[in-house]
Amino acid sequence: MNLALVALFAGATCIALSPIWVRLADVGPTASAFWRVALAVPVLWALHAASAARAAPGPAPRAHLGYLAAAGVAFAGDLAFWHWSIQYTSVANSTLLANLATIFVTLAAWLLWKQRPRRLFLAGLAAALAGVAMLVRTSLSFSPSALLGDALGVVTAMFYAWYLLSVKEIRDRGTATLQLMAVTTTITAALLLPVALASGETLLPQGPEGWLVLLGLAWVSHSAGQGLIAYALAHLPAAFSSVSLLFQPVMAAVFAWLLLGEPLAALQVAGAAVVLAGIWIARRGSQ
């Protein structure tokens, strides 16, 4: 239990560093999204091979190809929109808004599968939207581009919700975590490469420091962060884990303040607190 708890917070901290790497990267937003997954692919396949050698074989990836493809498309959209969001708005806003994904998951279950949410969820949704309005108000005082970044953060949450729903279906069918991550990350990289090339962005880093930033994004934030969280979720109660992962946007805001000198306005801090409270209440109401 204690080791799993440490893994949970360590994973959330690793992922919280990802917007910092994106800001420091000397390639374009779509290009950094591509390298984030492309450089992680060999690591994930190696870990999967080592894990598969010790475990009983799971379902073949091709048996769930449709769901795996859907997860790859969704994750590609999630990364592309989030990396662009980070370029336009604050790290705190982009990360907080991306965490609205859990609310979109419940809304999708309501609209698509008629799983009516509880009143507690609706109260959390209302609180989260009030917090979003406060964040948007703060962005308007910064610049019009910050408002665009906030909008891209909301789109990110929609794609991430799609990814979570796809992953849940794949996991329910018995696919191992590392197998899932290796396959979907490969699909995501294959989708993002042509988009990055077509965008005209700078694709290759200018020197060793640029490559180190991208390796940090791929190996620390993506591989280590996602892997630690996957391990923790297998050993901790789901309700506790989902609430504890709200630690991620808090740490992202702290890293942005310490490493990028990004200020936090009073209204932004208040809005962030309301959004986090709303997400927490909504998750309680969707269980």
What H or E segment, with its residue span, contains residue 223? none
CA atoms of 84 and 23, how far apart (whole Å): 10
Q: How confident is the model over 170-203, as pLDDT tens digits?
A: 877 777 778 888 999 999 999 999 999 998 899 9
| pTM (two decimals) | 0.84
Scanning 173-245, the segments in alpha helix (DSSP H) are 177-199, 208-215, 225-233, 238-244
Q: How many CA within 13 A on the CB side of residue 151?
A: 6
**In which band, very low, low, confident or very high, does the pLDDT at 18 lie, cut at 50, 70 and 90?**
very high
State the pLDDT at residue 194: 96
- Token pair, residue 102, equals 């859990």
Q: What is the DSSP string of 58-114?
A: ---GGGGHHHHHHHHHHHHHHHHHHHHHHHHS-HHHHHHHHTTHHHHHHHHHHHHH-
